[in-house]
């Protein structure tokens, strides 16, 4: 309820403006930190709320009904950035990097995607070498979010590309380390308030305390992060789809065409009914994945199913919502305009849906069972 009230009173009135400006509302982020919104599933001893995964996805869904970009920031300590530090980090790394993140005092970024290896994480080209007790990092990441606000990035590099996933290690790179270069992409189709772009490492020197886990653990760190990331994308997609249905229902009741509210036309009713059923199915798949993680399972299949289905549902819901709004949906005075642009991106991030379909079919065919 707190998140819903916050969304209604504080986010809804200004989201259109900051989306257009491609800028996060810093005063809102401060208020969210004060209210503990970034604590998520991080244990209380590291500054978090210690939420169970089912509660966590409900909270992410609620915020996404207003702005899934803020929900994405809420998810970072529990997901893409923090989960690897919690699972693989030393006590010192958890206190130094995870705690301020969970308290909302800092933000982080996850640097997985590269210009030439997006979906293929094991194909990372960013290189590291040992230099006495230190490491040297050289390479480029692409489409990395939070370039503007992150104090650090959890990123991945290989000692030798021919080793595949066994050669990959994870590093925590301070955003202000010499040799870290950021180049934001402007004017994105969706996710506009988030600053996303290229992150280049030009011979960045890192101390031994920057290594996350052991050398060679990088692929496992990345998978821990992306599985929780996928759960979060699913919850964000459900929240956005629910907002599409809410707006479409209200609009259909009010819009009079041919002397009738359009809600009286069966074709519009079908759209609303299909949306409602699909959204509930996506919500249940998301909860299924949350339950698997809560039970200590890896949840890989569940994460793929939930992310793939929920993002497809969100995209269909946004398309139908825009149709129901007619020309008004094309105007940015109506939220469905933003939902339409953002929903497409859900089908691409955290692994494109084509790859999730392949993964799910691997489980169905018994090719994969992990
Ligand atoms: C707004 C935004 C924010 C992002 N933020 C981050 C971030 O913070 N950190 C980060 O690391 N990344 C981030 N990304 C990157 C995102 O995770 C990648 O774009 C995504 O994983 C896909 O990689 P790619 O774009 O290189 O697609 P590619 O790997 O080039 O794939 C392109 C297409 O090829 C097809 N394809 C590829 N492989 C297969 C296959 N095996 N089977 C079937 N079809 C296939 C699919 O249709 C896919 O969509 C972000 C992206 C966006 C758009």
3, 163, 171, 206, 314 from 203: Cα distances, Å: 43, 21, 14, 9, 41
Residue 128 region by backbone torsions, left for phi larger than 0, else alpha for psi between -120 and 50, else beta: beta
Both structure tokens of 316: 């269909």
**225 in the same domain as 201:** no
Position 206 confidence tier, pLDDT thresholds 50, 70, 90: very high
Pocket lined around ligand 1, Cβ cut-off 6 Å = 109-113, 118-119, 143-145, 188, 191, 196, 345, 348-352, 354-355, 358
**162 in the same domain as 195:** yes
Q: For residue 120, which phi and psi values (nearest 5 degrees)?
A: -90, 85
Atom of ligand 1 nearest to the CA of 112: 11
CA 53/CA 73 separation, integer angstroms: 16
CA 303/CA 57 separation, integer angstroms: 12
**272 in the same domain as 360:** yes
**pLDDT over 80 at 91, yes or no:** yes
**357 in the same domain as 250:** yes
Cα of 311 vs centre of ligand 1, distance in Å, is 14
Query: Which of 105, 77, 221, 227 has the alpha carbon at shortest distance from 157?
Result: 221
Cα of 327 vs centre of ligand 1, distance in Å, is 31
277 burial via Cβ count (<10 Å: 0-12, 13-18, 19+): exposed
Domain count, the chain: 3
The answer to the question of residue 100 being in a domain is yes
CA angle 288, 290, 294 (to 5 degrees): 115
**pLDDT over 80 at 118, yes or no:** no
The answer to the question of residue 187 being in a domain is yes
Task: Name the one residue in this structure whose structure tokens are 């810093």.
Answer: 26
**259 in the same domain as 183:** no
pLDDT of residue 369: 83
Please tell me the residue having the least CA distance from ligand 1 atom 49.
352
The answer to the question of residue 282 being in a domain is yes
CATH of the domain at 195: 2.40.110.10
Give residue-wise pLDDT tens across range 233-272: 999 999 999 999 999 999 999 999 999 999 999 999 999 9
The answer to the question of residue 252 being in a domain is yes
Cα of 141 vs centre of ligand 1, distance in Å, is 12
CA 239/CA 64 separation, integer angstroms: 5
CA 285/CA 224 separation, integer angstroms: 19
**360 in the same domain as 247:** yes
According to DSSP, the residues that pair with 201 across neighbouring strands are 139, 180
Q: 107, 138, 172: which is the final residue of a domain?
A: 107
CA angle 328, 342, 144 (to 5 degrees): 150
**pLDDT over 90 at 119, yes or no:** no
**pLDDT over 90 at 98, yes or no:** yes
The answer to the question of residue 369 being in a domain is no
Query: Which of 216, 227, 211 has the alpha carbon at shortest distance from 85?
Result: 211
**For the chain, what is the mean pLDDT?**
96
Please tell me the residue having the least CA distance from ligand 1 atom 23.
118
Please tell me the residue having the least CA distance from ligand 1 atom 7.
144
pLDDT of residue 122: 84
The answer to the question of residue 255 being in a domain is yes
Both structure tokens of 195: 């600053």
**47 in the same domain as 167:** no
**182 in the same domain as 249:** no
List the single range of 119-133, 188-202, 212-226 with lowest mean pLDDT.
119-133
Helix (H, G, I), strand (E, B) or coil at 146: coil
CATH of the domain at 273: 1.20.140.10
Q: 57, 82, 107: which is the final residue of a domain?
A: 107
> Is 350 an annotated catalytic residue?
yes
The mean pLDDT of 20-36, rounded to a whole number, is: 97
**123 in the same domain as 93:** no
Residue 18 lies in domain: 2-107
**294 in the same domain as 263:** yes
Please tell me the residue having the least CA distance from ligand 1 atom 30.
118
The answer to the question of residue 370 being in a domain is no
Cα of 238 vs centre of ligand 1, distance in Å, is 20
Q: 56, 82, 107: which is the final residue of a domain?
A: 107
Give residue-wise pLDDT tens across range 302-355: 999 999 999 999 999 999 999 999 999 999 999 999 999 999 999 999 999 999
**136 in the same domain as 227:** no
CATH of the domain at 63: 1.10.540.10
**257 in the same domain as 130:** no
């Amino acid at each position: 309820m707190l998140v819903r009230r916050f969304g209604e009173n504080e986010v809804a009135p200004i989201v259109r403006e900051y989306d257009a400006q491609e800028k996060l509302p810093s005063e809102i982020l401060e208020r969210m930190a004060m209210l503990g919104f970034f604590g998520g599933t991080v244990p209380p001893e590291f500054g978090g709320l210690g939420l169970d995964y089912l509660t966590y996805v409900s909270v992410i869904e609620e915020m996404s009904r207003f702005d899934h970009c803020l929900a994405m920031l809420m998810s970072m300590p529990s997901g893409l950035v923090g989960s690897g530090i919690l699972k693989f980090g030393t006590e010192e790394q958890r206190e130094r990097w995870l705690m301020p993140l969970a308290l909302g005092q800092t933000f982080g970024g996850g640097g997985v995607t590269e210009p030439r290896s997006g979906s293929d994480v094991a194909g990372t080209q960013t290189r590291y070498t040992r230099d006495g007790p230190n490491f040297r990092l050289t390479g480029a990441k692409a489409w990395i979010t939070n370039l503007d606000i992150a104090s650090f990035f959890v990123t991945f590099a290989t000692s030798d590309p021919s080793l595949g996933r066994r050669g990959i290690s994870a590093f925590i790179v301070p955003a202000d380390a010499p040799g870290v270069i950021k180049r934001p992409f402007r004017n994105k189709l969706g996710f506009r308030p988030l600053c996303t772009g290229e992150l280049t490492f030009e011979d960045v020197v890192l101390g031994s305390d920057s290594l996350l886990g052991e050398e060679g653990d990088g692929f496992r760190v990345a998978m821990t992060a992306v599985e929780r990331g996928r759960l979060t994308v699913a919850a964000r997609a459900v929240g956005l789809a629910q907002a599409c249905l809410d707006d479409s229902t209200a609009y259909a009741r009010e819009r009079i065409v041919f002397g009738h509210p359009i809600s009286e036309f069966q074709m519009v009713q079908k759209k609303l009914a299909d949306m409602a059923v699909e959204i509930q199915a996506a919500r249940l798949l998301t909860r299924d994945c949350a339950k698997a993680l809560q039970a200590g399972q890896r949840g890989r299949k569940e994460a793929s199913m939930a992310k793939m289905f929920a993002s497809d549902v969100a995209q269909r819901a946004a398309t139908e919502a825009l149709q129901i709004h007619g020309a008004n949906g094309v105007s940015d005075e109506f939220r469905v305009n933003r939902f339409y642009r953002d929903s497409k991106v859900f089908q691409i991030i955290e692994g494109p849906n084509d790859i999730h379909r392949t993964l799910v079919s691997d489980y169905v065919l018994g090719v994969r069972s992990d």
